[in-house]
Structure 1
Amino acid sequence: MRGNLVRILHDATKDDTEYVFGVRVDGFEQDEQKVIGHFSDGSSGEFDLLVGADGQGSRIRRAILPAGFDPYWRVGIHMAYWFIPRTASDSNIRDTCMVPGGRQIMRRSHNPTETQVYFVVREESEEASAIHREPVERQQEFWANRFRDAGWQTERFIEGMKTSPFFYSQEIVQVRTDTWSKGRVVLAGDAAHCASPTAAWASPAPWPAPTSWPARSTDTRATCRPHWRTTTACCVPSSTRSRAKSTRACCAWACR
């Protein structure tokens, strides 16, 4: 479903938006007049606004928070998900299997050829917390070991995991910070207030109405720098700083 939404948005904007793949925001510097973004390909750009919408593990958030501040509230839950080929027995209804030992398996199909598999486990070990930063092969070994005895279609799911083109492993956390901006850098979405998939709401309070952001412009041309599974950068002319100069905003986001 996320991929479908990405394709819809891309198709709607590709004619007046330039997308450049394979680049992320590695750092930035700012003063009262501008913010300069530094990208992983060695290039830099000057903008009026940097928007960090780069997800739960936001690099932009890490850069604007005080050193050593931990924004995560951990709930001891970990999740992996991937795609496998769909079979005739995979219906359009999501299946959920509760497994002893704080484990859960889910299966859902979002198109005629693919099925999504989810493994969820409650575990507070150091290994579980660290596994998401390990190489994919090690992550897959971890999940296979945790679920090999779970029954149902686990054997099929684990075999499909080995050859899946899309595999993700992450800890389920909530992001809690009172700081959503610093100068010309602002956080949005999960980078600012990730409630985690286990929460029943996206944010405990409505978004504050921005009072100092520049108004939106009719100039919709943009330079976007997305990269699969990593932090990305999107540079968007979004308003006018003055009558003579167009304002440019750089938006960093996570793309899956």
Structure 2
Amino acid sequence: MRGDLLGLLHRAAGDDVEYVFGDSVTALRQTGDGVDVSFGHGPDRRFGLVLGADGLHSTVRRLAFGSESRFIRHKDHYFAFADAPAELGEDRWMTMYSLPGRMAGIYRSGNHHQAKAYFIFRSPELPAYDHRDVGQHRRLIGDAFAAETSWRTGELLAAALADPDFYFDALSQVRMDSWSTGRVALAGDAAHCASPASGAGAELALVGAYRLAGELAAAGGDHALAFRRYRQGHRAAVRKKQQIGLNLSLMVPRTRTGRRVRDTLASLPLMRIAAAAERLAVATDSPRSLPDYPAATPAPSRRGDRG
């Protein structure tokens, strides 16, 4: 779960990191030797580099590269995630209920008191959609699923709409030719979101961050070289994970006939063998595909150097 992952990363980072919560970047001004950064609440500060890892709707990307409409590609679906009572899901299973163009489901990890409900519905890009308007998001999910009474859809919908951490967004990808400009670079979803349908968001973010940090350590202060090697080393994995067409067709079939075909294929022994083989390949090959980097030598701490 996301909270568990964040806890691991927070502990691994140790004490030599400054965290600032409840603030956001409002302006970036690059010079030859640094970046002047303005914040919504805190004072202006100067940094040697700015690395934006602020998600699909990245503020850093917008300030440094331009409007997000240039980079975001809508994938004809909208989705939601929210907490749900654990008793609605089977322990250590992900259960999906499909309708033509829609899907409701629940995931229960076995290690948490709550499960996760999720919903997807097919739709072209909505012209009035606002990714910040949670009230609109709840109405969209309600309109898509309120009339459905089969299975546990009603209970999951009620739990999702009552969850204060209810999350909703368009199913989208980020496509960029370059992930850096000057002293600003992007990582994770801000650079190359493959969408939740890829099942690879955390993998790409962590591997990309490892490569970015490693190349910065290896480049001896030449950030332009590091950013270029980071892009070259990580681009192939991003391209592969952004190929999600079959995933969506299996998760959210367009028609009832498509659902029957999907269910038939999923029940074949060959599919289970192929899935097991893929898991084994990922487990054995992924670590070998990443280079070893020299450990970075920490620079002397100065106010404004960390963030």
Q: Same fold (TM over 0.5)?
A: yes
Instruction: State how far apart, in whole Å, the 2-side matches of 1:56 and 1:88 are.
Output: 30
Match of 1:139 among 134, 137, 140: 137
Change (3 A) 1:21 1:217: same
Give the corresponding residue for 2:84.
84
SS at structure 2 position matched to 1:165: coil
Matched-pair contact (CA < 8 Å) for 1:37–1:44? yes
**CA RMSD across the alignment:** 3.0
Matched-pair contact (CA < 8 Å) for 1:50–1:249? no
Give the corresponding residue for 1:180.
179
Matched-pair contact (CA < 8 Å) for 1:80–1:119? yes
Residue 17 of structure 1 deviates from its aligned partner by 3.2
SS at structure 1 position matched to 2:60: helix
Residue 197 of structure 1 deviates from its aligned partner by 2.3
Matched, 1:97 2:154: no
* Greater Cα shift, 5-14 or 164-173: 5-14
Give the corresponding residue for 1:52.
52
Residue 201 of structure 1 deviates from its aligned partner by 6.4
Change (3 A) 1:45 1:217: farther
Gaps of 5+ in 1: 220-238, 251-256
Determine what percentage of the aligned residue pairs are the same residue.
30
Give the corresponding residue for 1:148.
146
Change (3 A) 1:246 1:4: same
Matched, 1:248 2:305: yes
Residue 86 of structure 1 deviates from its aligned partner by 1.5
Instruction: State how far apart, in whole Å, the 2-side matches of 1:47 and 1:69 are.
Output: 28
Change (3 A) 1:157 1:133: same
**TM-score between the two structures when normalised by the length of structure 2:** 0.64
Residue 67 of structure 1 deviates from its aligned partner by 5.8
Give the corresponding residue for 1:123.
123
Read off the aligned partner of 1:43 and give its amino acid letter.
Answer: P
Q: Which deviations, in whole Å up to 9, do the C-alpha atoms of 1:165-195 show, x marking residues without a partner? A: 3211111111111131111111112111112
Read off the aligned partner of 1:44 and give its amino acid letter.
Answer: D
Q: Which deviations, in whole Å up to 9, do the C-alpha atoms of 1:121-168 show, x marking residues without a partner? A: 1101526x605342x233112201201233211111122123213211
Matched-pair contact (CA < 8 Å) for 1:49–1:248? no
SS at structure 1 position matched to 2:176: coil
Residue 13 of structure 1 deviates from its aligned partner by 3.4
Change (3 A) 1:68 1:79: closer
Change (3 A) 1:154 1:68: closer
Matched, 1:5 2:9: no
Give the aligned length. 223
Give the corresponding residue for 1:231.
none
Matched-pair contact (CA < 8 Å) for 2:57–2:68? no
Instruction: State how far apart, in whole Å, the 1-side matches of 2:88 and 2:173 are.
Output: 37
Read off the aligned partner of 2:139 and give its amino acid letter.
Answer: E
SS at structure 2 position matched to 1:106: strand
Residue 12 of structure 1 deviates from its aligned partner by 3.4
Instruction: State how far apart, in whole Å, the 1-side matches of 2:43 and 2:123 are.
Output: 41
**TM-score between the two structures when normalised by the length of structure 1:** 0.75
Residue 45 of structure 1 deviates from its aligned partner by 1.3
Residue 75 of structure 1 deviates from its aligned partner by 1.4
Give the corresponding residue for 1:64.
64
Read off the aligned partner of 2:305 and give its amino acid letter.
Answer: R
SS at structure 2 position matched to 1:19: coil
Give the corresponding residue for 2:192.
193
Instruction: State how far apart, in whole Å, the 1-side matches of 2:34 and 2:8 are.
Output: 32
Q: Which deviations, in whole Å up to 9, do the C-alpha atoms of 1:176-230 show, x marking residues without a partner? A: 1113111111111211111222237677xx97966522886443xxxxxxxxxxx
Q: Which deviations, in whole Å up to 9, do the C-alpha atoms of 1:18-48 show, x marking residues without a partner? A: 4332122222111001111112213221110
Give the corresponding residue for 1:23.
23
Instruction: State how far apart, in whole Å, the 1-side matches of 2:52 and 2:114 are.
Output: 32
Give the corresponding residue for 2:170.
171
Residue 245 of structure 1 deviates from its aligned partner by 7.7
Structure with max Cα Rg:
2
Segments of 4+ moved more than 6 angstroms: 200-203, 244-247
Change (3 A) 1:181 1:90: same
Change (3 A) 1:142 1:25: same
Read off the aligned partner of 2:144 and give its amino acid letter.
Answer: R
Q: Which has the higher helix share?
A: 2
